[in-house]
Structure 1
């Protein structure tokens, strides 16, 4: 790396020496040839050169200068989506800026095997394209098919990350199923098992019959059912009706009394083992300790008292089914109730009367309801609002069943994580998520870490038995298992039968050791582990705080005796332009590559249909996606080409620390136009330098003009804001500061202000402008470079400069990572008093432009401007900068005096100043009346718009359902509209008597 740096320095010096003899003393000069910004041309070949040159690999250096991160590994299930684009852009901007500050940066790429997600997608793919299933193929052949999928889609994910400009060290890429990571996973399991933290027991789990596996809470979508709703369930011939509450009675033994209970799942009553009432409920107090008769098992079941029962809910009596309800399971444990399982892994009825046995649970539901009706036990069926747990991978309805599983005891592990947060050793940004962290960490429930899948890390444990005696041994080979088991079973290893568990570990378990496993753990002598662990920062989406970030901290502390990271940055979840979370189920997922390259409606449809054929999208998801595309992109005939830089800049123009981050394709296209604005500003600077008149006169800082000093003060302000915002990860404030400086101040005002200077005979003025142009562009684009990686690397070396710039000299224009502008280097140019003074001149200029626009005065007409003011400072500034002012406003003459003529329209600037513009032409009255009519129409439309927005923002439904960030944007829009309306009313009132 040092050699690369040296070569750039030598090249830089040679260029300077070659150009020193030139009277213009220019350096770093290469003309732009394309007439406008073209993303494809600018992005071409750059990434490959950066990667081959080793720019993304850390340099040798001290641990003090190290900054290390890992990319949260995307699932191997398919292509990247905008959520991934947001996550990797946030991290890339951080990594690139750290490099410009001199840090030795390591950013590690990787990919997650995503057990459940991958198995589900590959199974769909095989069904759709091969007309087969994993069970028909067998485990070994199925794993081969998954590896084929991984090789195909994994490579495309890596290519997409490169396309997005992610400066990852590809020499260290990881896959969570490679041998090194598998060794780390096995080691972690065995160590935790030996410490007594991993154990095996029978417990209630979330079960998906389609996957035939347990799933974690994060794989469950809780769907709200408002009332009776028919839903198509996998493996059911007809839709199943949900959103109903069934009331039925149990008869009390040796009594004519009955107790009415209610359930949304009548089939589970076959597994009822008790009726629970509140001991304080006078209606049932005398029945506690007695029993009711189960109509289908011909057995009594007890009536128990438990204060968890809500007296005021329903009938006050609750059926208890410990085998199929998590709440009931806990009640059953407390009262030592039998666990009677009546639904098996296939969703069929078991351990019940022959008339129900082996029926699908939903078929059984109908039979039971009809029988209860015949027995006069069914009391009512009423509509009921409910939450239906569904598998996000298969759409199947989740139910609960008891199963032997592996668990990680979390109580003590959680305490250490809580202490780390409360003591300040661990910092979470934004701080509002600390309470979420504590909620997870203070939950004493143990973690079920086993899954009944074929794809994943097979549990490194053997069931060792002799006769009826058995013991579980954690290890990776059968001989070790038998040897260890012999110590417990007190017999020879050869007499022991050892069978490895066929279950695999929860993907989150292998992900929880990711930060230290990728650095070489358990080999703690590994160079990467000793240098780069713990990580400097963990950045990821807030929605996996508990499932991943918390668990990484928990296992990191236990297995490595240190926090895997001391700082956590949580960003929001990606949403569409309307604030709806992007998901396949909503059809609003946008491929970042489609935004970069652009895509027609026809190609978008073909691509979406192909995803349906491949099993990535269901038929319902396909329909929703096509409807979304038609509603949002038909107006532009698809998604316009925006390029990588515009995409990155748009993603970080939102507050990434908010709960939700909205993405608007059209805003992204607007940022592509911003890229072109930057491109054209460099072209203008090159042309301006070409026009410089040769001179031997030395230009100093005292030769800087009014507008030179103004833009330099604004530049200093921007550098300060950007650095402060970047340090606090407020990227939206940094992008706003950069865009305001480049677009609104540099391009719209300063560039235009230099035109009269370059056209004049004042040579020093031209050179003062040239020095300023170069310094401002260099500084602004270096501040922009972490966001727009391709455009800035294309343009910075082509910004013309001087061997010694009087503003600030940059000598590293050929370096891959440009010097980061520091506030202390530009503080000399900061002048708040001067900016306040110049603000009045700029307001005058903008008011003239606004009045011309409202009254339809063409720029081809050069009207006179009359300034009536008591502000002597403003008058002097206008007079001193008359040429620039007239050029910027496209006016002909500047007068000072009263705005009293009939052919003059006027508007107040402030209490001391009034601005007038002379209407040129014969029919002045008609022109003014026509403009006034347009103004009145515009005011009426704006009043209507403001009223509608106020009504919308006050609506309770809007306040409760619309994301916080969308509400903030809407309120800003309302404020801007009100301000615009106020100005228009003043303008109309001021000219009502003209």
Structure 2
């Protein structure tokens, strides 16, 4: 093994090696340990339809940060990985591949052959996803990896279905559902995405059957008129009171339909009258149920018109719309048109406009299941982070409709319902029956449909742990602790897991729902294939390293809010890793002798008794404070604040201050002081690596292996950083007096550096400093003289008793408790300062003249608001004061130049 870290930080040289080391040693495996508390996260299973995107990278990084944090805290931390079979998406992918490669449709192959190809797809792409997770640094327990269609999960799905069916909570019925003509399957309400589009409303007159004027009705979907069975008006709408109970004629079709009174129509919208098409609109379906109206379907599953549409039969729904409107217009039934923004429902997978359609499907009754899930949130048994997402969760549950769970697909969990082909008996069972329970016949056929993917995903937190069996894993690791998810799938997944868990286990599946936002592009747009603005996490890892990507993601987002992916922030994260690398390399170099053996270090077991210098106590105190802050913020899921505090501690306090201060001691002649300096460096560096490890696991583990104890990691995996313990806050490690001294010295050093920068004086230029201290602060400043002299390049510090002792010609700065003065003769290039002041004077004179011009303009004064006039007056005062100071300074500098 090399004695020290490589000169250049190159994550490619060690990230894969480190991950392999972790995995081979079993560092990710969670053991059931009665002496440890469990901490469990189940990974939201990525679909097997492709590769990870930046949203996955964010979601998984947040989970890994929490898991590594809890593992270091001493929990038996289980992060259970897996993938989802994604019925619709996967079937579409496999069907397309079969078409492209074999020129066949799935029906040409048959169900069995098609499923063989689907499983082959899973093996190919499911394996790719797990490799990508490993590149990201996911510390999952891969020995427990699950798939939603593996044997255990499938058994749980069948058990759950039968359990709900036997309770009367699952039923089959002919109801209105969402139908995707492209995917050829039903969808649940949550799988329909609504988008506002510019559309059109057509106003048609339905003539009265008795020869009267009739009623004008507006519709955005004229093609559904062939399925109209009534016109509804509000009972209190006086305009139509005499029409209720009478009939109107469906234009051109000639069919008579009744006018019914119902609370559904809004008298303030449109004409106040609504055409009722129960087979093609969910609200109309409810009206139809109340009035016992007929259900007439005029559109087939492939979105073409059927025989009910007469001469338009076989036309695509939108082709029919054009031809039908044209014919109605020519016949005089079109009254007017209106352009309007219309919400359109689309399939969440393919984007095709969904068609509401009557269909025989399987449903879950939601009223009874929703109530415990609502109560769990209201009682605080389920906590959303941020809290505002609880409203979203509750609103969806309170407005929930029965859940359509059957899908007209082949890939997925086939519904465990069986039909006797001889007597028609329906049997629902976890395993296929050998004979009919009614007639005893063996001619039995299973339901052709599969279950909605979310039906199986709803069981994920407990089916993955062995439920419905009372396995040891289930008893130890369930309920899980936190679910990490984006706000875009609260409906799809979170709600379903909660009500399913309460129904089956009697417990909420997790205590916390940590909701994060989306990763958007630099312009704030959602990443998508259509926009071509997606970013491949693996490409970013290849260029910047996994640690940089992880740190950028975790420190760039706050719970529940979106973040923009910006390259400069990624570069900043890489620069931070590089800073840590170089600082650690310096530390390691000073810990070892020429043979690579660690030099003698002081025993810091009793810090109070150790001969620590002020700077040692200060950095130990700062690390101790960071331990408390980072621990508290991590527990609250404020990971960005925790990561930023680690950044500030390492970059600003350790690298920029402590290392610079301690260099003189390391290169000095006092061997005892060297030993103390080395010991403090190792102590605080190790603690900082522990604090940073959840965010940047690779670089911290690599550095760890070059430090005492860590170097033995190759021979003993127990010495890996990943198996270390999280540092604990210790009240005894606070050194307020020493911290005050260092903080004061640092403030003064910063102020002197700022004066140098303002005067454009080189850092190498020797300066004198005059200090005017507030009451009681002089001893504090004197205690830091050596730091100020060394780090601000000051040759002499003079302590003034009063302002009268301060030289007249100085540049000054104010810090808390003191004023700092640098004589102009020491710092000033008077010729350059003269030019600068002349330019500044000219600029301020111009500003004063401009404001005077405005304020003397009667037109401005008479028309401008009083607030604007007062703002201009304030500007004048400010510019005149600045000009006076510049002129005063200019007079002094001119004397020096002469």
TM-score with structure 2 setting the length: 0.87
User: Are the structure 2 counterparts of residues 985 and 418 from structure 1 closer, same or farther at C-alpha, using a change threshold of 3 Å?
Assistant: farther
Whether the 8 Å contact between 1:187 and 1:522 is mirrored in structure 2 is yes
Counterparts of 1:796-815 in structure 2, within 5 Å, are: 796-799=704-707, 813-814=719-720
CA offsets per residue over residues 691-737 of structure 1, 9 Å max, x none? 89999998975532222222222111101101111112211111111
Q: 2:561 aligns with which of 647, 659, 663?
A: 659
1:569 aligned residue = 514
| Aligned counterparts of 1:483 and 1:730: Cα–Cα separation in 2 | 58
| Aligned counterparts of 1:462 and 1:801: Cα–Cα separation in 2 | 63
Whether the 8 Å contact between 1:655 and 1:730 is mirrored in structure 2 is no
Q: What SS does the aligned partner of 2:375 have? A: helix
1:711 aligned residue = 619
Q: Report the Cα offset of residue 261 of structure 1.
A: 1.1
Please tell me whether residue 821 in structure 1 is matched to residue 724 in structure 2. Answer: no
1:752 aligned residue = 660
| Aligned counterparts of 1:935 and 1:596: Cα–Cα separation in 2 | 52
CA offsets per residue over residues 816-865 of structure 1, 9 Å max, x none? 411210113xx222244654554333222112222322332222x31314
Whether the 8 Å contact between 2:191 and 2:492 is mirrored in structure 1 is no
Q: 1:530 aligns with which of 464, 475, 478?
A: 475
Q: Report the Cα offset of residue 987 of structure 1.
A: 11
Q: Report the Cα offset of residue 579 of structure 1.
A: 3.5
| Aligned counterparts of 1:39 and 1:441: Cα–Cα separation in 2 | 46
Counterparts of 1:395-794 in structure 2, within 5 Å, are: 395-464=351-420, 466=422, 470-475=424-429, 479-480=433-434, 482-484=435-437, 486=438, 492-494=439-441, 498-524=444-470, 526-597=471-542, 641-689=543-591, 701=609, 703-794=611-702
Whether the 8 Å contact between 2:837 and 2:890 is mirrored in structure 1 is no
Whether the 8 Å contact between 2:224 and 2:280 is mirrored in structure 1 is yes
Q: What SS does the aligned partner of 1:386 have? A: strand
Q: What SS does the aligned partner of 2:436 have? A: helix
CA offsets per residue over residues 127-151 of structure 1, 9 Å max, x none? 5555544344443333222222211
Count of aligned pairs:
844
1:964 aligned residue = none
Counterparts of 1:347-386 in structure 2, within 5 Å, are: 347-386=303-342
Q: What SS does the aligned partner of 1:549 have? A: helix
| Aligned counterparts of 1:846 and 1:303: Cα–Cα separation in 2 | 83
Q: Which moved more, 1:105-114 or 1:422-431?
A: 422-431
Q: Report the Cα offset of residue 666 of structure 1.
A: 2.3
| Aligned counterparts of 1:986 and 1:61: Cα–Cα separation in 2 | 75
1:165 aligned residue = 137
| Aligned counterparts of 1:338 and 1:96: Cα–Cα separation in 2 | 60
Q: Which moved more, 1:552-561 or 1:785-794?
A: 552-561
Q: Report the Cα offset of residue 656 of structure 1.
A: 4.3
User: Are the structure 2 counterparts of residues 475 and 933 from structure 1 closer, same or farther at C-alpha, using a change threshold of 3 Å?
Assistant: farther
User: Are the structure 2 counterparts of residues 794 and 353 from structure 1 closer, same or farther at C-alpha, using a change threshold of 3 Å?
Assistant: closer
1:231 aligned residue = none
Q: What SS does the aligned partner of 2:556 have? A: coil
| Aligned counterparts of 2:214 and 2:120: Cα–Cα separation in 1 | 61
Counterparts of 1:39-118 in structure 2, within 5 Å, are: 39-62=11-34, 65-118=37-90
Q: What SS does the aligned partner of 2:311 have? A: coil
1:211 aligned residue = 183
Q: Report the Cα offset of residue 92 of structure 1.
A: 1.5
Q: 2:94 aligns with which of 122, 139, 162?
A: 122
CA offsets per residue over residues 751-802 of structure 1, 9 Å max, x none? 1111233344444443333222221111111111111111111112323599
| Aligned counterparts of 1:246 and 1:397: Cα–Cα separation in 2 | 19
Q: What SS does the aligned partner of 1:45 have? A: helix
Q: Report the Cα offset of residue 40 of structure 1.
A: 0.9
User: Are the structure 2 counterparts of residues 405 and 934 from structure 1 closer, same or farther at C-alpha, using a change threshold of 3 Å?
Assistant: farther
| Aligned counterparts of 1:818 and 1:704: Cα–Cα separation in 2 | 26
Whether the 8 Å contact between 2:251 and 2:333 is mirrored in structure 1 is no
Q: Report the Cα offset of residue 95 of structure 1.
A: 1.7
Counterparts of 1:961-980 in structure 2, within 5 Å, are: none
Q: 2:745 aligns with which of 841, 856, 861?
A: 841
Whether the 8 Å contact between 2:72 and 2:722 is mirrored in structure 1 is no
Whether the 8 Å contact between 1:539 and 1:569 is mirrored in structure 2 is yes
Q: What SS does the aligned partner of 1:798 have? A: coil
Q: What SS does the aligned partner of 2:575 have? A: helix
1:303 aligned residue = 259
Any unmatched runs of 5+ in structure 1? 1-28, 228-242, 487-491, 598-640, 804-810, 942-980
Q: What SS does the aligned partner of 1:509 have? A: helix
| Aligned counterparts of 1:694 and 1:555: Cα–Cα separation in 2 | 60
2:871 aligned residue = none
Whether the 8 Å contact between 2:601 and 2:676 is mirrored in structure 1 is no
2:248 aligned residue = 292
Q: What SS does the aligned partner of 2:685 have? A: helix
User: Are the structure 2 counterparts of residues 120 and 97 from structure 1 closer, same or farther at C-alpha, using a change threshold of 3 Å?
Assistant: same
Q: 1:870 aligns with which of 746, 769, 773?
A: 773
User: Are the structure 2 counterparts of residues 127 and 666 from structure 1 closer, same or farther at C-alpha, using a change threshold of 3 Å?
Assistant: farther
Q: What SS does the aligned partner of 2:271 have? A: coil
Q: Report the Cα offset of residue 112 of structure 1.
A: 0.4
Whether the 8 Å contact between 1:287 and 1:303 is mirrored in structure 2 is yes
| Aligned counterparts of 1:768 and 1:684: Cα–Cα separation in 2 | 16
| Aligned counterparts of 2:739 and 2:217: Cα–Cα separation in 1 | 75
Q: What SS does the aligned partner of 1:354 have? A: helix
Q: Report the Cα offset of residue 262 of structure 1.
A: 1.1
Q: 2:835 aligns with which of 905, 914, 929?
A: 929
Q: What SS does the aligned partner of 1:566 have? A: strand
Q: What SS does the aligned partner of 1:46 have? A: helix
| Aligned counterparts of 1:710 and 1:50: Cα–Cα separation in 2 | 35
| Aligned counterparts of 2:81 and 2:561: Cα–Cα separation in 1 | 25
2:10 aligned residue = 38
User: Are the structure 2 counterparts of residues 986 and 365 from structure 1 closer, same or farther at C-alpha, using a change threshold of 3 Å?
Assistant: farther
Q: Report the Cα offset of residue 80 of structure 1.
A: 0.8
Q: What SS does the aligned partner of 1:106 have? A: strand
CA offsets per residue over residues 352-402 of structure 1, 9 Å max, x none? 243111211111111111111111001122321112222232232111111
Please tell me whether residue 321 in structure 1 is matched to residue 277 in structure 2. Answer: yes
1:266 aligned residue = 222
Q: 1:854 aligns with which of 741, 750, 758?
A: 758
Whether the 8 Å contact between 1:774 and 1:801 is mirrored in structure 2 is no
| Aligned counterparts of 2:682 and 2:571: Cα–Cα separation in 1 | 27
| Aligned counterparts of 1:755 and 1:988: Cα–Cα separation in 2 | 42
TM-score with structure 1 setting the length: 0.79
| Aligned counterparts of 1:887 and 1:500: Cα–Cα separation in 2 | 84
Whether the 8 Å contact between 2:710 and 2:720 is mirrored in structure 1 is no
